[in-house]
Structure 1
Amino acid sequence: MNGQDYYIPAIAMAVALAFKLPALRHNWRDPLLRSVVALLTLAAAVFAFAAPPTIEAVNRWTGVPNVSAPLVYSLITGFSASCLVLVVNWRGGPPEKTRRTSRRWILGYSVVSVLLVVLFALGDAPVERLRDLDTYYANTPYIREMIALYLVAHNVAALVMVAMCWRWSLQVRGWLRVGLMIIVAGYMFNLSYDATKMTAVVARWTGHDLDYLSTFAAPPLASAGALVSAIGFVLPLVCQKLSDNWEIWTTYRRLGWLWQEVQISAPSNAPAVHMAWWSAAELRVIQRESDIHDGFLHLGPYFDRQLRDAAYERARAEGADEETARAVADAAMVAAAVQARAADPEGRVIEAGEENAVEGPRDLLRISHALRHSPVVQAVRQRAALSGSGLSGSGLS
């Protein structure tokens, strides 16, 4: 692999990190978000500092041959720990247990990182090796132990990740399960990376030469493993966000029928609320619900409780369940009130101070659906329109 093969994944990770940083600034106490940011940061750093041009530059800037080795190995170790911590926080559970487990992984891999630096300092690696340090120094005291330590630590993390994600995937469904299976696939690449590296190093220990496995086969496996695993981590989060947004926009659209129905009740001098096109879907839903409740307040004098009760009995008689019947009854009352308000442009009923509003919460989505689809509501609306008033009777006789 050349420098470009390393820098492209690093840039991809950095772009993903840039999208996450604003969320971290607003919600930095979220352990899951912090874990995602840590993973993306370390993944980008691993690829950036493992590129041969960067290795050469770091060695030259510091004046220490091969000083990039413990740096890159420590970054790989930190990345392994961040993956384990992310899965621990992602899976959830009792907060104290989650924090305790996360701290153990962080502490354990921090010790490994310190040992990597100490072993490099104790060893002697005077000849700069940009691509084959693992095999070139496989038999050098202390450097040999440093190489073995980072490979074992990485392998342990990969095995634990595969086991954790596989067990978890058997307990969940949907996008989360897909993401976990992708992570497992990514870590199979990582296990293959460890196997090729270890095979080449052990071959050196036994007097054989399989350096091509470490120099040419292992790096593409590491790159593929990191990218596939990153997709597995990100996919469920992105898809869940898209699903949530879809549900919110669906709610906004479904409330539209009720919102349009009660617009007639808005005072002519009421200021119109215009939301910018970039306004969040949640804000749009809140505004629409507020408009509907305001409409109910203005329609209150025209609400007919007897009509509502009659519509409820009619819906129940036609086989509707309790919640649906209540929504049909409320929708029928709203439809009749709208017709009555239209027939009273001077607002005489309002001036009379009558108030017939029904107290209690209402299921706005069900009411909106009933306004459009319920035959009971359609019958009430037609009868009210013909009579010119929604207050002249039940409209269901």
Structure 2
Amino acid sequence: MDFAFDARTEELRARLLAFMDEYVYPAEQVVHEQRAALASPWENVPVVEELKAEARRQGLWNLFLPDSEYGAGLTNLQYAPLAEIMGRSPQIAPTVTNCAAPDTGNMEVLTQFGDEPQRKQWLQPLLAGEIRSAFAMTEPDVASSDATNITTRIERDGDEYVITGRKWYISGAMHPDCRIFIVMGKTDPDGADIRRQQSMVLVPRDTPGLRIERAMQVFGYEDHYHGGHAEVIFDGARVPVSNLIGEEGGGFAIAQARLGPGRIHHCMRLIGMAERAIELMCRRAVSRDAFGKALAQQGVVQNWIADARVAVEQLRLLVLKTAWMMDTVGNRGAHTEIQAIKIATPRTVVGILDRAIQLYGAGGVSQDFPLAELYAGARTLMIADGPDEVHQRSLARRELKKYL
């Protein structure tokens, strides 16, 4: 395994680091100020739109997509350090570079499984940043950590599918530019193979019978940057049969294909969040005195910083190994490593952010510093894309299988 950055990665890293310093970090406070002045918090923020144009002008656009026909054509190993950099400002950087969930996963689904008309109608404007999208799988009335539990029905009626069900925490649904939903439901609820009961269909935002019930908060945050999260009702929404993605019964497999890259992208960004937290801890520690000496001279603070550095270096190596394996043996071959980073990274970064918040005192939980919002995002990732316990269960079974 060789994790050294190649020439293209080094060049993109340099450009992205400069973009962050010149544009992204200075915009963090501006975004809050401009959003407060909008008639609706879901409207597009002017500075974000300006940064999108600048990122695209600089070629820092669609970096996540390995398909060179549609995206930057980077391997997972090449994209990893770039995602880490973007993770230092996860509310802005992924959005302005068109590398934000859920659009990234939806674009990957359309690239891999969409037909040509679907790619032309929905993938192309997503790649161009002209529209946004949502992914509708999680439901409030069942344990959605087991995707076979979903109850939303997708029933064929002649040349149409009729969708009926209730979803929540549907990322992207509140954004005014959200034009398309990828919806997972059951086309064969009584099928013998529980992993062949589900299918995915494309449902345009303006489809009669699709209703946004309410915005969902995450630790009190509405996550405007990624288009928010919503409870969505499908009350007999009808779409043409041609809106089916792939084949009937293929929804579970598509979901797994979508979540593999999504999980590693989250972990890459989490490392960037941890690096931002360490930087903020160090700056605070050398600038504040307590009980007669600088915080940086307090043993407990030194321990927090040292432990954080060790943890981040360990996580980065594990994530890079996972990226390398995904590139060399595929997502299935890297399944163990993907689960390992999904378990280890969020919980470790949550711990680092918790210490950083503690070091900042009241400021750590305020809106004046990014730590509270970073914490909310990191803690959520212990649930999103499969809760830790599901990955632990699967990983343990794989280990035990060697001895049975």
| Same fold, judged at TM 0.5 (above) | no
Higher relative contact order (CA 8 A, sep 6+): 2
In the superposition, the TM-score normalised over structure 2's length comes to 0.30
Q: Between Structure 1 and Structure 2, which shows a larger proportion of helix residues?
A: 1
Quick check: which one's strand share is greater? 2
Q: TM-score w.r.t. structure 1 length?
A: 0.31
Higher Rg of the two aligned structures: 1
